[in-house]
């Protein structure tokens, strides 16, 4: 049978393409499968999305990769909605749902058929130097080479024209092979033979018989038996050997040969073996809830039973036990035989939270996040797809988790206000929080957005009845909110009671707690040692070669680093412009805070263990978990960190949080800077005093005690902050009153970038539209990773254009004209709907 099929390709082109396919299955079985197709001179992997009609000049599908649809019907609808909303192609949205390492790569191999004579080669060198160079590489190697390798050797970009010419001349032969991505890896798992397990009489006989004659076999058998009894699962062969320190496998083999144990090849290692050093050890679903927690759970429970789409905003202050409500909600969903998805901002930074779910739900959980290897991610993906995982915990991209159709019953988005839910690049530039609600609506299920400091958008939606509001206003376990104390750093500076970054008050508070062995967390949101280096004689500041930002000093490594592109150079001992040797190092980073504090405490005769937690110290895998474990065992006295310490840390012995510089983000040129400051400070403050027996204290150093974000943090009043901020957003027409869309032009040629931005701005109509156009303007970071930037900002009025449909239509039309008439190859244009930042 011949079918005509629409295929979505991962290209920035807003359309699908028709291909022909000869096959013997029903065409509906092909929808959602991935297929390899020719596109121009390339071979690309696309997704079959619809049946179609024949069109002129269409090509054949090379191969359908999947034997079962990769995307379910509801995921096809979901990704289509995403592409419509964010103005990307359907193929790009679908690609976001295919984990890295799971796309088969089509690889071209090039083989030399005949050697070319030297004089012929010399002539070719003059006429077609690239072709000749290619031929020389092939002749200097034995055996076929890949196209990618040839391109790398020649360093001149694509070689497909040269290969075509040589193939036509009969000199070479090219073949395409498909190199598969990850494959399932099988593990040997050992079980007690089921016949023996269910027959107690037999079991006793076996144990007795082995004990007398074969002590090694007996110890293997009892180990497997006990493990299975404890976990309900088998034990991995490798682990069994390791735990019993077996030199040889023969006792295991003999037991297997005698039908006493069973060794099975399985895809998954029982999860209960995977987690070591768990930071949580009890099943929390049996804990008592407060009245407010019970109420929140009851509302979610009821909605789960109704089986309609419904979105809740769960606003619970820090330490109020939102996690316990999530756990109970998941239990309710599982009882209805539904699967659950839990999104967290950055999973590798929140091992405590994840461990709590594992302690309760065990190996029903699959995990998806960016720090996994391709193989690990693939295995967890398969576990979900095969129905072996009932709960998925993951970061942003887990929004695409491949639950089977109709299985998903509950989506929870923890810390819904976090900016890491927004994907900045590549397309689709989606917000996983917002599209969790969309997925919930498409699947007719319950979505819960949880936060101690809800985003302006979500609270606005709750106030206007779009979301159902649930509030937990007191802490669980009888704990109370910490006492907050403001320290006006300006007064200390005047009085001379400032020791580097530490006021005398802050220092005394630290010393008291060090002596009492209570935990201390210090927050400073800038890593490195100093913000930059500066020569006071000539004013020279070392800047990044690729970005228009100053380089941050990392004193321990003696380097200046760009925090945007990673560029690094040696720090200055003397000025590289005028030779001056008196170099300033203004602006304090976590390294300097740590160094100052060590000195200050040493001079007062105190010896303490301080650990730093920021991107620089956390690059090693497992380091984060190691530090948290050590901190929980009180092996570390003081933890200093960037916003990493604001996220999800829950240590009952922490009685003090010190905020070194609360003003860090206040005056960023961004309409969200007040909101971010309030959220961050409140979250950090919430790490203190989380158990009933220890009163927490938060000391906050600022030079702007009158700022609304600082005031709201000090009063602990979300309402105060929300109402103030809402008014200023309304006055300036910012979200939630408007929809912010940015059009960014970028490229290596500043003039071309400038010109393209001007053209696009002119193509957009200005009169009688429900939006304003700002710019084009030069953004705060004018050059990033060697690309010059210009930005146009559109502010869509949500009153006049609630869905943004008018704005999108106008924008699509303008971009189409730009693409057809004005587009330059060197200029990249990206559109960001609901852009998060304007920096
Ligand atoms: Zn100088
Ligand atoms: Zn840079």
Q: What torsion, rounded to 10 degrees, do the Cα atoms 701, 704, 708, 710 define?
A: 0
Distance 672 CA to ligand 1 centre (A): 36
Distance 545 CA to ligand 2 centre (A): 6
Give the number of the ligand closest to the Cα of residue 583: 1
Predicted pLDDT at 155: 75
Do residues 9 and 44 touch, judged by C-beta distance below 8 A?
yes
Q: What is the whole-number distance in angstroms between the Cα of residue 667 and the centre of ligand 1?
A: 29
Q: How far, in Å, from the CA of 425 to the mean position of ligand 2?
A: 17
Task: Say how many Å lie between the CA of residue 587 and the centre of ligand 1.
Answer: 19
* Residue 276: predicted pLDDT: 46
Per-residue pLDDT, 759 = 96
Q: How far is the CA of 563 from the centre of ligand 2 (A)?
A: 7
Which ligand ends up closest to the CA of 539? 1
CA of 47 to the centre of ligand 2 (A): 36
What is the residue-wise DSSP string for 32-64? T-EEEEEETTEEEEEEEEEE----TT-EE--EE
Rounded-to-integer distance, Cα 430 and Cα 447, Å: 17
> Measured in angstroms, how far is the CA atom of residue 783 from the centroid of ligand 2?
9
What is the pLDDT at residue 181? 62
CA of 381 to the centre of ligand 1 (A): 56
Q: What confidence tens digit (pLDDT) does each residue in 378-420 have?
A: 888 888 988 889 999 999 999 999 999 889 999 999 999 999 9
Question: Ligand 2 centre from 560 Cα, in Å?
Answer: 11
Give CA–CA dist 160/151, Å, rounded. 9
- Ligand lying closest to the C-alpha of residue 544: 2
Stretches in the chain below the pLDDT threshold 70: 104-106, 177-184, 268-282, 838-839
Beta-bridge mates of residue 656:
520, 697
Taking the centre of ligand 1 as the mean of its atom positions, its distance from the CA of residue 784, in whole angstroms, is: 25
pLDDT at position 183 is 66
The ligand minimizing its distance to the Cα of 551 is: 2
State in Å: Cα 573 to ligand 1 middle: 11
Distance 775 CA to ligand 2 centre (A): 24
CA 235 to ligand 1 centroid distance, Å: 66
Cα of 614 to ligand 2 centre, how many Å?
A: 19
- Angstrom CA distances, 450 to 207, 433, 764, stand at 52, 10, 38
Q: Which residues in 78-114 are b (16+ Cβ under 10 Å) and which e?
A: bbbbbbebbbbbbbbbbbbbbbeebbeebebebebee
355-385 tens-digit pLDDT: 889 888 888 899 988 778 888 888 888 889 8
Cα of 784 to ligand 2 centre, how many Å?
6
User: Could you tell me which residues come within 8 angstroms of residue 561 by beta carbon, excluding any fewer than 6 positions away?
Assistant: 528, 551, 552, 554, 567, 568
In this predicted structure, what is the pLDDT of residue 637? Answer: 94
Q: Report pTM.
A: 0.82
- 831 — phi, psi (to 5°)? -110, 130
Contact 75, 97 (CB under 8 A): yes
């Amino acid at each position: 049978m011949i079918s005509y099929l629409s295929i979505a390709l991962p290209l920035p082109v807003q359309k699908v393409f028709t291909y022909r396919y000869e096959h013997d299955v029903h065409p509906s079985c092909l929808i959602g499968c991935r297929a390899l197709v020719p596109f121009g001179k390339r071979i690309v992997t696309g997704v079959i999305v619809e049946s179609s009609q024949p069109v002129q000049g269409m090509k054949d599908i090379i191969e359908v990769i999947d034997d079962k649809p990769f995307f379910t019907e509801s995921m096809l609808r979901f990704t289509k909605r995403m592409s419509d909303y964010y103005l990307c192609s359907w193929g790009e949205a679908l690609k976001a749902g295919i984990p890295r390492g799971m796309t088969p790569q089509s690889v071209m191999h090039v083989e030399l058929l005949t050697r070319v004579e030297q004089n012929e080669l010399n002539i070719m060198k003059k006429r077609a130097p690239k072709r000749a160079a290619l031929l020389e590489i092939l002749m200097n190697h034995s055996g076929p080479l890949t196209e990618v390798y040839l391109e790398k050797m020649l360093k001149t970009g694509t070689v497909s024209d040269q290969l075509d010419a040589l193939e036509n001349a009969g000199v070479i032969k090219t073949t395409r092979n498909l190199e598969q991505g990850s494959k399932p890896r099988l593990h040997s798992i050992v079980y007690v033979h089921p016949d023996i397990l269910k027959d107690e009489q037999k079991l006793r006989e076996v144990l007795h018989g082995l004990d007398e004659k074969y002590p090694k076999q007996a110890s293997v058998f009892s180990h497997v038996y006990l493990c299975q009894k404890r976990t309900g699962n088998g034990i991995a062969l490798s682990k069994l050997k390791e735990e019993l320190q077996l030199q040889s496998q023969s006792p295991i083999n003999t037991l297997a040969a005698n039908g006493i144990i069973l060794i099975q090849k399985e895809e998954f290692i029982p999860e209960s073996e995977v987690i070591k050093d768990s930071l949580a050890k009890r099943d929390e679903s049996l804990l008592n809830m407060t009245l407010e927690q019970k109420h929140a759970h009851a509302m979610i429970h009821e909605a789960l039973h109704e089986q309609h789409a419904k979105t809740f905003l769960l606003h619970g202050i820090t330490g109020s036990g939102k996690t316990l409500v999530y756990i109970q909600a998941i239990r309710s969903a599982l009882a209805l035989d539904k699967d659950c998805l839990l999104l967290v901002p950055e999973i590798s930074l929140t091992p405590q939270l994840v461990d709590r779910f594992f302690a309760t739900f065990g190996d029903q959980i699959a995990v998806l996040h960016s720090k996994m290897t391709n193989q690990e991610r693939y295995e967890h993906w398969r576990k979900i797809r095969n129905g072996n995982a009932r709960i998925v915990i993951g970061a942003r991209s887990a929004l695409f988790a491949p639950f089977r159709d109709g299985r998903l019953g509950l989506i929870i988005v923890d810390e819904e206000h976090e900016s890491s839910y927004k994907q900045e690049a590549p397309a689709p530039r989606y917000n996983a929080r917002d599209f969790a609600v969309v997925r919930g609506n498409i699947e007719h299920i319950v979505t819960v957005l949880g936060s101690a400091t809800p985003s302006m958008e979500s609270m606005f939606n709750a106030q206007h009845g779009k979301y159902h509001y649930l509030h937990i206003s007191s802490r669980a376990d009888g704990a109370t909110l910490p006492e907050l104390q403001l320290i006006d750093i300006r007064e200390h500076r005047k009085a001379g009671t400032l020791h580097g970054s530490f006021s005398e008050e802050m220092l005394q508070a630290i010393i008291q707690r060090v002596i009492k062995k209570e935990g201390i967390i210090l927050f400073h949101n800038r890593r490195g040692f100093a913000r930059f280096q500066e020569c006071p004689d000539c004013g020279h500041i070392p800047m990044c070669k690729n970005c228009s930002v100053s380089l941050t000093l990392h004193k321990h490594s003696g380097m200046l680093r760009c925090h945007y592109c990673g560029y690094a150079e040696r720090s200055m001992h003397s000025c590289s412009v005028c030779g001056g040797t008196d170099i300033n190092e203004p602006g304090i980073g976590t390294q300097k805070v740590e160094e100052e504090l060590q000195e200050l405490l040493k001079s007062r005769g105190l010896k303490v263990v301080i650990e730093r937690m920021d991107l620089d110290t956390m690059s090693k895998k497992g380091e984060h978990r190691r530090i948290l474990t050590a901190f929980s065992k009180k092996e570390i006295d003081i933890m200093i960190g960037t916003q990493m310490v604001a996220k999800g840390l829950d240590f009952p012995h922490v009685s003090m949080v010190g905020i070194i510089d609360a003003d860090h983000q206040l005056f960023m040129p961004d309409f969200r800077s007040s909101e971010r400051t309030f959220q961050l400070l409140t979250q950090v403050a919430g790490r203190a005093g989380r158990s009933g027996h220890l009163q927490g204290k938060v000391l906050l150093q600022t030079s702007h005690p009158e700022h609304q974000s600082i005031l709201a943090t000090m009063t602990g009043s979300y309402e105060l902050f929300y109402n103030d901020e809402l008014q200023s957003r309304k006055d300036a027409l910012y979200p939630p009153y408007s929809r912010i869309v940015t059009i960014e032009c970028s490229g290596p040629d500043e003039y071309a970038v400038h010109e393209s931005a001007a053209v696009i701005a002119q193509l957009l109509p200005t009169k009688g539209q429900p939006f304003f156009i700002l710019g084009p303007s030069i953004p705060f970071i004018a050059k990033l990773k060697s690309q010059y930037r210009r930005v146009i900002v559109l502010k869509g009025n949500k009153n006049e254009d609630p869905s943004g449909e008018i704005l999108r239509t106008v924008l699509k039309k303008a971009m189409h004209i730009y693409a057809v008439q004005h587009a330059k190859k060197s200029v990249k244009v990206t559109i960001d709907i609901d852009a998060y930042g304007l920096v």
